[in-house]
Amino acid sequence: MAGKVNVGDKAPDFTLPAQDGRAVSLKDYQGTKNVVLYFYPKDFTMGCTTEAKAFGESYGEIAKLGAEVLGVSSDSTDSHAKFATKCEVGFVLLSDSDGKVRKAYGASSALGLMPGRVTFVIDKQGVVRHVFSSQIQPRQHVQEAIEALEKLPA
């Protein structure tokens, strides 16, 4: 289940633990909400903190567009709980400790030195409608997601 997921592809399903300990699956949202699935390198780093805060600040707008935000990194659920509190995020952070979900989506770094920063917008049918990848523009991921969601039915 490895490879690069592109626009038009069926998003690979997964189940991962959230910062509150519950198991969250992509299929939980199928038929009810669009999903902004973003992969980020590491909790408490400068770019990832900026990105999480930006998603947090825009979470109300994203929710009004009929979507849920799911952030994914290899950090532990304990780390995610502390990071979510620090960044005041109202959305779910998922722990992909073995990197299987990241690999399934092909969300690796272009340089291969650190995990990639990639955002996928997935519609209610589970189809990828937008992909944005940029290590150095963490805030742009939020803008890209909002613009893609505006083109989808809420």
Sorted by where each begins, the domain ranges of the chain are 15-149
What pLDDT shows up at residue 1? Answer: 41
The answer to whether the CB of 1 falls within 8 A of the CB of 99 is no
What is the pLDDT of the chain when averaged over all its residues?
A: 93
| Tally of CB atoms within 10 A around 70 | 23
For residue 127, what are the contacts with CB-CB under 8 A and spacing of at least 6? 8, 9, 10, 11
With 90 as the cut, is the pLDDT of residue 135 above it? no
Whether 48 is catalytic is yes
- Stated pTM of the model: 0.94
User: Which phi and psi (to 5°) does residue 126 adopt?
Assistant: 85, 20
Q: How does pLDDT run across 3-37, given as a tens digit for each residue?
A: 689 999 999 999 999 999 999 999 999 999 999 99
In this prediction, residue 110 carries a pLDDT of 58
For residue range 112-130, list pLDDT tens digits in order.
667 889 999 999 999 999 9
CATH number attached to the domain at 15-149: 3.40.30.10
Cα angle: 4, vertex 136, 64; to 5 degrees: 75
Q: Which of 26, 48, 52, 149 is catalytic?
A: 48
